[in-house]
Amino acid sequence: MTELFSPEWMQAYAQQWNTEPELTEALGKIHFSSVIGYGFEDESEPRGVISIVNGQVTYAGTYNSQKLNWDLRADSHHWQQWLTNGLNMMGVSMAYMTRKLQFRVGDYLAMIKDPRMAGPFIKSFTVMSRV
């Protein structure tokens, strides 16, 4: 298995993302463009990053001080748990409230209240599990 958030893992994640219409089409409709970092809660910077333009991942790889719109962190145990079991809306809310899933950058509450973004956010965890 490729190391979580390594450049190879991020590129495989991007390939899966770009083949998932519930992400690409849904986010394309709202012209969603963002830079999202992923990493571990005990590290100062994210390990991996994806750049999204109108719903499509255009870059995936190592974090190199890019300006982030979102920075998602958790410990390795919880990342693995979510990759294995998935994550639904209630699970995301509980993970956020208990700080198992941290948003170092980004407005979780605004995102989760917008169904145009909340659905794709949940779907992104399903896509992660395919890597």
- The domain of 66 spans 7-128
Residue 103 lies in a domain: yes
The CA–CA distances, whole Å, from 21 to 3, 31, 36, 43, 97 equal 26, 14, 19, 32, 29
pTM (2 d.p.): 0.94
> Is the distance from CB of 47 to CB of 41 less than 8 angstroms?
no
Number of structural domains found in the chain: 1
Can you give the CATH number for the domain in which 87 is found?
3.30.1050.10
The pLDDT tens digits for 19-48 are 999 999 999 999 999 999 999 999 999 999
The pLDDT tens digits for 89-115 are 899 889 999 999 999 999 998 888 898
Instruction: Kindly state the tokens that stand for 52.
Output: 């999204």
